[in-house]
Chains A and B, each alone.
Chain A
Amino acid sequence: MIDTGTLWFVIIALGLGSFGLRFVFTGLVGDREMPAWLLRHLRYTAVAILPALVAPQVLWPAATDGTFDPARVAAAAVTLGVGIMTKNVLGAIIAGAATLYAMLWLLG
């Protein structure tokens, strides 16, 4: 069991800390000019962090205890491929999910 006092302390401290991380630039920097080199790096935040978040989950999914799973890799590849070709987010999601379930069913 988790101690109630500890739990509430963690909830509140984590809430404040997370807000702090989210507010640190939008709130404190505001509309002050940021240097060009920093802006150049920030342009690539989304395309860097999100693939980095996803890559290990694709190759070593927690659901299979980290072992390589052809169904999940195929689903990821199809999602990315359809997304790049069509630029249609929902279409890519549906194609990826269909691939995942088809492969899971085929590989049983």
Chain B
Amino acid sequence: MAITTTKSAYRKGLVDAAPFILVIIPFSSLFGILATEAGLSVFETLAFSVVVIAGAAQFTALQLMQEHAPTAIVLASALAVNLRMAMYSASLTPYIGAAPLWQRALAAYLTVDQSYVCSMAQYEKEPDMTIPQRMSYFFGCVTPIVPLWYLFTLLGALLGAQIPESWALDFALPITFLAMIAPMFRTPAHVVAAVVASVAALVTAGVPYSLGLILAGLAGMIAGAQTEVWLESREKGQAG
């Protein structure tokens, strides 16, 4: 279904991001549960999710605060975990950089793994979308994600019940990310980027403060870009 209006772009974003509900619910409930177990009030827990809106960074900060790590270390570690958001911001810029400033600011606040991967997949698939359509699509993607992030943080904090470990909800996140990435392997360069990044992530797993993730990401991006250059020059060589 091609997007023809900003309204249909919003609706398509909403539908495309719907599978993420399966991740957001367990993930945000878990944060609510763990935060209240760590002694935060319901209000503090909810404020944490609304102000920061970044699951992995919130878990990191919570864990380190419980261990009474120095505040500077808490902030540095949690921000390092979130460093990938700067890379997301950079890669969204060619697509939405021309939108009005308030929309870009709002989109920045709402940039999470799910809204990013969902939007990028669409922008790459339909490069002819207008800027308003892209923004509508982005806000469509956010609609089933962010309100539930708040709501289930709150419910988790209120209920405080333990989700049984046998449900293996830890794996909801890897499964949805893999499912989202798979259709993005459109060229050999994309595959090379993913393989190099994965291997690099395993090799750098011991690097502190999650900086291994950033190194692995950079390695994958360089590998993808180099493969693209190499494939292009080979094509030219054959044509000439």
Contacts and interface: CB of A to CB of B under 8 A. Distances in A.
B193 A93 contact: no
A53 B89 contact: no
Given A6-B65, A22-B86, A47-B224, A93 B179 contact: yes
A14 B222 CA distance: 29
23 contacts: A2-B38, A7-B40, A8-B44, A11-B44, A24-B90, A26-B92, A40-B225, A41-B225, A44-B190, A44-B193, A45-B90, A47-B193, A48-B224, A53-B201, A57-B171, A57-B174, A76-B175, A82-B182, A83-B179, A83-B180, A83-B182, A84-B185, A89-B16
A79 B180 CA distance: 10
Contacts of A44: 189-190, 193, 220-221, 223-225
B42 to A, nearest CB: 13
Nearest to A87: B183
Interface of A is mostly: helix
A1 B217 CA distance: 36
Band of interface residues on B: 35 or more
Contacts of B202: 55-56, 59
Contact of B197 (A24, A51, A100): A51
Contacts of A11: 44, 47-48, 51-52
Contact of A49 (B40, B92, B108, B197): B197
A87 B83 CA distance: 29
A30 B97 contact: yes
B51 A49 contact: no
B25 to A, nearest CB: 13
- Which of B96, B183, B228 is packed against the most chain A CB atoms within 10 Å? B183
Contacts of B216: 48-49, 52
Interface in A50-82: 50-63, 71-72, 75-76, 79-80, 82
B96 A26 contact: yes
